[in-house]
Structure 1
Amino acid sequence: MRKILLIDGNSMLFRAYYGTMSRGLMKSTSGIPTNAVYGFSTMLNRALEMFEPTHILIAFDTKDKTFRHDLFDDYKGTRKPVDEELVSQFALIREFLDAANIHRLELSGYEADDIIGTIAKKYPNDEIDILTSDRDLLQIIDDHTDVLLMKKGLTNIERMDKNALMSEMNLTPSQVVDMKALMGDASDNIPGVPSIGEKTAMKLLLKYGDLDTVYAHADEIKGKMGENLRTYKEQAYLSYDLAKIHYDVPLEIDMDQYAIDIDRHATNAFYRKYDMNSLVVEVESESSDADFSISDFDASWIGNDVSIYLDKEGAYLSDGVRYAFLDRDAMGESADFEKLLNKSRVLVSESKPLYRFLLEKGLDIDPYHFDDLMVLSFIVDGNLTTFDKVRDDFNLWYPENEGYKISRKLFDVWDAQIKKAQVEDVLDVFEKIERPLTKVLAKAEHVGFNVDPKVLDEIERDTKAEMDEVSSQIFEMVGESFNLNSPKQLSEVLFDKLELPQIKKRSTAVGVLEALYDKHPIIPLVLEYRRIQKLYSTYAVGLQKHISKDHKIHTTLNQHATQTGRLSSSEPNLQNISVRDEAGRKVRSAFVASEGNVLLSIDYSQIELRVLSFLAKEEKMMEAFNEERDIHKETARDIFGVAEVDSAMRREAKSVNFGIIYGMSDYGLSQQLDIPVKSAKQYIERYHE
């Protein structure tokens, strides 16, 4: 049985383009935009690794109108024009696929969906996967055809078969078309039936099964829904014809022609031509497997340049001509491995876990100096916040047991990132700030934070009692008990029993509840319950789960998780414990110094604003700092137009100062200060005056 991968080319190219635009538009040295092609190629290479097809074909739309435009002139009429930078890359992607010997199909008068559907139905005895982000293709699913829905590049893919479609959407494949006929599709400008949305369409299909049966009973359906169904029957069936994929595209296909046989030399030439050199490295190194040998790790490795890829299983090592694997136990038991780390130049995918490993062995890590690819990559590109994203950028995806392929490519990626760091003039940031900081963070994680469990026990008892009290008031108010932590049950009480107005499809999110605050006395109680419940689950109980045998919490301090470069904390997050309310201060009191030590809180005074005033040459701000005036009070005087500033004004001005320099919108500021958007906009305008 053949394993056929059919790719929706337009869908993947658009996803590649917009997925890479956050880093700016990539261009070749001759000025040709290449980011969509780079992203497409990277995604394609990874798809081949992940799904291991034997045959592949990529289908594209054409610029020409299709038979659907003959049915409805305004089909897809609301779509915005495609960016010129993307339009120019359509020809480039065809050049790439031709070079790679990957077959593509496009046919005037038909869409890629129709080509894919026709091929899928023509080969019922083969295993077929369809890679797309377009849910229209879900109607093709059958016993031998699955749809692989791209939700985030290729890092988040959902395999949809008949069971998954029923489980997630409560639909059969054929009902996908019926659904579109009833509710329409704004993205394709398919009209559907007015006033029938997804929820109503679902109810109709659950009751009647398909569009024809809905209309067989249309006279029985009362109210506005029945009236619209009857009035817009012709429009519903037009929508059905627009949404339905055709399986009769006139194609002459011999699937054996589409067996995978990628021309690596030609793709190398293409990558070099358009300056996508990191992909050249990856492709060329694929052919060098035979030059590498599996080796037992021993003292002969010491003194060589070694790259190490760490994963949950252990360490994959490469010295350029051989590779070895050490599991976690072997890493700890090998004296030669310890010597290697101290005597050799070592490049690590991420160095902090390796420093932690040495600390846990009781070793002093000061003599060890590792090159850290993850930290360097983050400095070069703030979007690369995880090593998986680095792997995406450099196509470092292989089966789990082939980590050695990653280890031996780390130096190539390192060299590419070093060149970028030199161009961006950020190499000093890596050498003098970030690389030394990694050791400091490893030590801090290893030492941990001392915790008094008695304080957390007390908070647990108190918050549990408060939750019981508030929930009792709520149950008494509605005359029944229910699970307050269940959005579904809470929604039924609020919108069915109490008949409160529905703002966002029966949502019980905090923003919705705040909008309903004055509509019923139950709402303030629900919000109070949630505040206490978060304190209970996140801190009182949650923190206790993280206390180790040494009575400490060993959080993870993230050096490369935020685009602003600030540190963050996770597992658990110790940076979001509020100091502004009594509950938060109580939780903080559980963190105590170990015997003979004290805890110090040290911070730069408004460092971001000082740097900003210097870089922007903002005379007024620099003058305030030089004269040691309170910058937040100065801002408050300006935006409120007053001479005397109270504490509330200063607090709001502080939010304005820090929010604006990090790009906060008027809406974001309004949410933070709990003020109207109009007022927040005025604050920002006055700030810039």
Structure 2
Amino acid sequence: MTTTTEAAAAPEAEASQPHLVLVDGSGYIFRAYHALPPVTRPDGTQVNAVFGFSQMLERFLREHTATHLAVVFDHARKTFRSEIFPEYKAHRPPPDPELVPQFALIREATAAFGVSCVEQPGFEADDLIAAYAREFTEKTGGRVTIVSSDKDLMQLIRPGVVMLEPIKRTEIGEAQVLEKFGVPPTKVVEVQALAGDSTDNVPGVPGIGVKTAAQLITEYGDLETLLERAGEIKQPKRREALLENAEKARISRRLVLLDENTPLPEPVEALKAKPPEPARLRAFLEENNFRSILARTGLGNAAEGKQDFRIVAPARPAVVDPAAAPFGPYATIQDLDALNAVIREARETGILAVDTETDSLDALNANLVGICLATAPGRACYVPLRHRGRDMLEPVPPQIPLEDAVAALRPVMEDPAVLKLLLNAKYDLEVLARPENGALAVTPFDDVMLISYAMDAGRHGHGMDELALEHLGHTCTTYNEVTGTGRARIPFAEVPLDRATHYGAEDADVTLRLWRLLKPRLLPEKSLALYEKVERRMVPVLMAMEQEGIRVDREELERIGQDFTERLVVIEARIHELAGRPFSVGSPKQLGEILFDEMGLKGGRKGKTGAYSTDAQVLEDLAAQGHALPRAVLEWRQIAKLKTTYVDGLIAQIATDGRVHTDFSMAITSTGRLSSTEPNLQNIPIRTEEGARLRRAFVAEPGHLLLAADYSQIELRLLAHLAEVPSLMEAFGRGEDIHARTAADIFGLPLEAVDREARRRAKTLNFGIIYGMSAFGLAARLGIPTGEAKGVIDAYFARYPGILAAMERIKDEARTNKFVCSPFGRRLWIRNIDDRNPAFRAGAERQAINAPFQGGAAEVIKRAMVRVPRALADAGLRGRMLLQVHDELVLEVPEEEAEATGTLLRGVMEGVATLRVPLLVEIGTGRNWAEAH
């Protein structure tokens, strides 16, 4: 193998002028990552950035000589500049999770090529490059070449120091800097301080660009002189900008000025170029299957150079044999030395699976009992933090104090080079973020639950137990197995450490194994963008909403509760009168006997217990036939449920801050919709007076308003989009009343002749079609004979044949693939589509028809939700998202910002997707949710 490093080590090179080459490692990494498609080595590890980096490094070593050589890396995102200006680089998104695990492999590649790898905590790579350039030129009198295209490094160019653009391989000297900035390298910092840099969030002076900045610095000499004489500037806007933003300019200068006194992690002498060890380099290239590089370096044969890697992974990995890496035994970590050893392993592998053990399912109030970590399959541990003895006689087990454990974990939890793997990340992140648990921030992260959900919504559950059984063939230890049940149950903090360790560490181990299996499937199954751009980004959005909560008027709730109680008494008396005798209205058995045995109503059917079914569908069918008793029972049940769930339940859930904090579930529904629990705010009736009364109890803080932004008829718009119905598309485009237009089309009426009843029928039909409603169902809703309802549906499909064709196409897709796709590509799996039972099969077909519309609507509002917080912040608006209920977002906004927030929100929400019909968002504001809605 012939490389530059060998040439550099040769006697003639030693005799020449000392020459230090400093490679900007970050620049190489990101160029490599974005230049190559996602690729994996045989074990499934993604290595596109590693391969590209290795290619560039190998080529550079072949084509250039140096006596000293190093690749310089950023150590972490936070540096001393973050203390000067917290917003510095704060808006930059974290690196892609596919890239994070490759950081450690890239450092391994650098070492394998025999090149020094340097980085320094608290400082950027650019600072290290500046310090090494100064040290080298002063100590050796030699020359320095900086391999980078980063404009921030151009301030370092001077006699003896040049830059080399890595792709074009052209030299950047003083002349090139003068051409780019309009000033020599010594003045670049002054220009950058004025012009700022949006990429790094360096503020600069608004309205002054590089060209103007160069003119000003050329005239006044330096930034401080310019600011002192800013009053002399003739142009009013420029003068005012400089006077008003002088401090910003000074801060900007401190941000862009590289620190040439950065402490050096390695002395200059340690950077001496040397040839790689052939065995080590060969082992690295073979492990990663980089055959073409093996051939070029002479360490492999030419035939091996044809293929370096295989593209992605199989679409459906086979079940992994659990015996390949046993599930346990696992380690109990009880001292800092052992914890630090785990942390070192995480930095080496670039991944760390994390799971929390707590004393509550309520993440906002849960206390951390212990934390579980895994660095590789089978290598997992449990770190007890708040365990205690079960009684006075049992000693507290040895464990690391919480504060010490948090201090040790914080750097790796925030390290951008280590990807954290979680399952149901929102819960764990909320627990770790609590001040009582150490206020740990975790970034970057992958959520295995959401990876699974992005590909397999509706196919199966996405909890740990279900996924472990589905993909690993492994049955997890249950919580009941370690804590007991009923009166025998003990708190997790009192579980013996050996049992707690196996249970907790197994969770982390399973999370890591699932990630290794499922993450490579995202790309071939066309779910990567959905996961990366929507699902994972929803985690911090929902965390913020849950922490905010929404204020509730307790007194108003109590008044509503009293009213509901009085109404229940009246309704119950009427029910007893209709039944002819008193009975327990809440007893399905007693109600069934009265309806079908005593009153002799038709349609009664008994279940396995021998009791008649009296569910909502049965009662609605009876009520549609004109029977008063079932209608009264339905009303009683509705009021009773509202009182129990939304009055008594809400009062019990008001926190000490006067607000309720719902828990949004991200991976429950088969369509991608969010659901909420504790309390469930998704099911408050929308169109009833009772629902409106309940919404009046949700109020804004003093000086604020609630703002509701609701997508108008989004599912119908998706129907028009998917079925390409000209009449409906034109109606939406003109802003017509879509139900009136449907009535006119179906019933053969002029638009102006459509009355209230015709519109009501058309509305029922429009929404019913989306849900696969049958003629029987439509008849029950409209109170008309089934034959007439069938005629209406036939007329609908005759007028809109595209809708019938679309529905048939969707059902065929479901039968063929066992899933359908939303308009944006999300796979929605449909169970029972081939079931032999006609009722199950018909239900699955109705679900298949509805899924693209509900799934599309869910994705539209999620896309909006991930954009709204940034849009508000960029506009300087203080509104906060509180709730998401179906197609509606609820925010709390300062009164004086309500109009501006509404305008911004409408623009964001209507612009998240391009359909064949326009999206429309309706905005309302009020002191309470009812007024806003």
Q: Residue 222 of structure 1 aligns with which residue?
A: none
5+ residue gaps, structure 1:
1-273
- C-alpha distance in structure 2 between counterparts of 1:407 and 1:284, whole Å: 17
Q: Residue 509 of structure 1 aligns with which residue?
A: 615
Q: Mean Cα displacement is larger for which, 436-445 or 596-605? A: 596-605
CA contact (8 A) 1:625 1:631 kept: yes
- C-alpha distance in structure 1 between counterparts of 2:731 and 2:533, whole Å: 31
CA contact (8 A) 2:353 2:511 kept: yes
Shift in alpha-carbon separation, 1:604–1:491, aligned structure 2, 3 A: closer
Q: Residue 482 of structure 1 aligns with which residue?
A: 583
- C-alpha distance in structure 2 between counterparts of 1:679 and 1:389, whole Å: 47
SS of the residue corresponding to residue 572 of structure 2 reads helix
Q: Residue 386 of structure 1 aligns with which residue?
A: 462
Q: What letter corresponds to residue 629 of structure 1 in structure 2?
A: E
Shift in alpha-carbon separation, 1:276–1:380, aligned structure 2, 3 A: closer
Q: Residue 538 of structure 1 aligns with which residue?
A: 645
Shift in alpha-carbon separation, 1:307–1:629, aligned structure 2, 3 A: same
CA contact (8 A) 1:295 1:323 kept: no
- C-alpha distance in structure 2 between counterparts of 1:544 and 1:354, whole Å: 27
CA contact (8 A) 2:662 2:676 kept: yes
Q: Residue 661 of structure 2 aligns with which residue?
A: 554
Q: Residue 660 of structure 1 aligns with which residue?
A: 769
Q: What letter corresponds to residue 306 of structure 1 in structure 2?
A: L
CA contact (8 A) 2:355 2:428 kept: no
Shift in alpha-carbon separation, 1:662–1:483, aligned structure 2, 3 A: closer
- C-alpha distance in structure 2 between counterparts of 1:617 and 1:446, whole Å: 42
SS of the residue corresponding to residue 539 of structure 2 reads helix
- C-alpha distance in structure 2 between counterparts of 1:484 and 1:328, whole Å: 51
Q: Residue 72 of structure 1 aligns with which residue?
A: none
Q: Residue 824 of structure 2 aligns with which residue?
A: none
SS of the residue corresponding to residue 422 of structure 1 reads coil
Runs of 4+ in structure 1 off by over 6 angstroms are 362-367
Superposition pairs for residues 268-667 of structure 1, below 5 Å?
A: 277-286=317-326, 289=328, 293-296=331-334, 298-302=339-343, 304=347, 305-310=351-356, 315-320=371-376, 322-326=379-383, 329=386, 333=403, 334-335=405-406, 336-343=408-415, 344-361=418-435, 368-383=443-458, 384-387=460-463, 388-394=465-471, 395-400=473-478, 401-476=502-577, 480-501=581-602, 503-505=604-606, 506-517=612-623, 522-643=629-750, 644-661=753-770, 663-666=772-775
CA contact (8 A) 2:333 2:383 kept: no
Q: What letter corresponds to residue 352 of structure 2 in structure 1?
A: V
Shift in alpha-carbon separation, 1:368–1:527, aligned structure 2, 3 A: same
CA contact (8 A) 1:378 1:560 kept: yes
Shift in alpha-carbon separation, 1:546–1:499, aligned structure 2, 3 A: same
CA contact (8 A) 2:373 2:381 kept: yes
Shift in alpha-carbon separation, 1:596–1:390, aligned structure 2, 3 A: farther
Shift in alpha-carbon separation, 1:457–1:496, aligned structure 2, 3 A: same
User: How many Å apart are 1:652 and its aligned residue?
Assistant: 4.5
CA contact (8 A) 1:356 1:443 kept: no
Q: What letter corresponds to residue 698 of structure 2 in structure 1?
A: F
User: How many Å apart are 1:659 and its aligned residue?
Assistant: 4.5
- C-alpha distance in structure 2 between counterparts of 1:522 and 1:618, whole Å: 43
Shift in alpha-carbon separation, 1:524–1:620, aligned structure 2, 3 A: closer
Deviation sequence 1:522-550 (CA, Å, 0-9, x none)? 44433332232222222222322322232
- C-alpha distance in structure 2 between counterparts of 1:509 and 1:434, whole Å: 35
Q: What letter corresponds to residue 454 of structure 2 in structure 1?
A: I
Deviation sequence 1:628-648 (CA, Å, 0-9, x none)? 333333333223332233455
- C-alpha distance in structure 2 between counterparts of 1:328 and 1:662, whole Å: 51
Q: What letter corresponds to residue 282 of structure 1 in structure 2?
A: P
CA contact (8 A) 1:301 1:340 kept: no
User: How many Å apart are 1:680 and its aligned residue?
Assistant: 4.9
- C-alpha distance in structure 2 between counterparts of 1:538 and 1:386, whole Å: 27
Q: What letter corresponds to residue 390 of structure 1 in structure 2?
A: L
- C-alpha distance in structure 1 between counterparts of 2:385 and 2:597, whole Å: 56
- C-alpha distance in structure 2 between counterparts of 1:404 and 1:471, whole Å: 54
User: How many Å apart are 1:450 and its aligned residue?
Assistant: 1.2
| TM score, norm. by length of structure 1 | 0.54
User: How many Å apart are 1:586 and its aligned residue?
Assistant: 0.1
CA contact (8 A) 2:316 2:521 kept: no
SS of the residue corresponding to residue 698 of structure 2 reads coil
Q: What letter corresponds to residue 685 of structure 2 in structure 1?
A: S
SS of the residue corresponding to residue 397 of structure 1 reads coil
Q: What letter corresponds to residue 421 of structure 2 in structure 1?
A: L
- C-alpha distance in structure 1 between counterparts of 2:655 and 2:454, whole Å: 33
Shift in alpha-carbon separation, 1:433–1:680, aligned structure 2, 3 A: farther
Q: Residue 111 of structure 2 aligns with which residue?
A: none
Shift in alpha-carbon separation, 1:557–1:656, aligned structure 2, 3 A: farther
- C-alpha distance in structure 2 between counterparts of 1:532 and 1:510, whole Å: 14
CA contact (8 A) 1:380 1:417 kept: no
Shift in alpha-carbon separation, 1:588–1:416, aligned structure 2, 3 A: same
Shift in alpha-carbon separation, 1:471–1:421, aligned structure 2, 3 A: same
Q: Mean Cα displacement is larger for which, 347-356 or 493-502? A: 493-502
SS of the residue corresponding to residue 709 of structure 2 reads coil
Q: Residue 256 of structure 2 aligns with which residue?
A: none
- C-alpha distance in structure 2 between counterparts of 1:640 and 1:567, whole Å: 37
Shift in alpha-carbon separation, 1:473–1:634, aligned structure 2, 3 A: closer
Q: What letter corresponds to residue 532 of structure 2 in structure 1?
A: E
CA contact (8 A) 1:460 1:540 kept: yes
Shift in alpha-carbon separation, 1:534–1:443, aligned structure 2, 3 A: same
Deviation sequence 1:436-482 (CA, Å, 0-9, x none)? 11111111112212111111111111111111122233445556433
Q: Report percent identity of matched pairs.
A: 34
Aligned length: 414
- C-alpha distance in structure 1 between counterparts of 2:653 and 2:443, whole Å: 29
Shift in alpha-carbon separation, 1:502–1:574, aligned structure 2, 3 A: same
- C-alpha distance in structure 2 between counterparts of 1:530 and 1:440, whole Å: 35
- C-alpha distance in structure 2 between counterparts of 1:599 and 1:620, whole Å: 36
User: How many Å apart are 1:575 and its aligned residue?
Assistant: 1.3
Deviation sequence 1:40-92 (CA, Å, 0-9, x none)? xxxxxxxxxxxxxxxxxxxxxxxxxxxxxxxxxxxxxxxxxxxxxxxxxxxxx
Q: Residue 100 of structure 1 aligns with which residue?
A: none
Q: Mean Cα displacement is larger for which, 299-308 or 610-619? A: 610-619
CA contact (8 A) 1:341 1:368 kept: yes
- C-alpha distance in structure 1 between counterparts of 2:434 and 2:658, whole Å: 16
Shift in alpha-carbon separation, 1:392–1:492, aligned structure 2, 3 A: same
Deviation sequence 1:182-212 (CA, Å, 0-9, x none)? xxxxxxxxxxxxxxxxxxxxxxxxxxxxxxx
Q: What letter corresponds to residue 373 of structure 2 in structure 1?
A: L
- C-alpha distance in structure 1 between counterparts of 2:413 and 2:755, whole Å: 57
Shift in alpha-carbon separation, 1:647–1:555, aligned structure 2, 3 A: farther
SS of the residue corresponding to residue 458 of structure 1 reads helix
Shift in alpha-carbon separation, 1:361–1:637, aligned structure 2, 3 A: farther
User: How many Å apart are 1:372 and its aligned residue?
Assistant: 0.3
Superposition pairs for residues 94-173 of structure 1, below 5 Å?
A: none
Shift in alpha-carbon separation, 1:567–1:667, aligned structure 2, 3 A: farther
User: How many Å apart are 1:601 and its aligned residue?
Assistant: 0.8
CA contact (8 A) 1:278 1:413 kept: no
Shift in alpha-carbon separation, 1:671–1:306, aligned structure 2, 3 A: farther
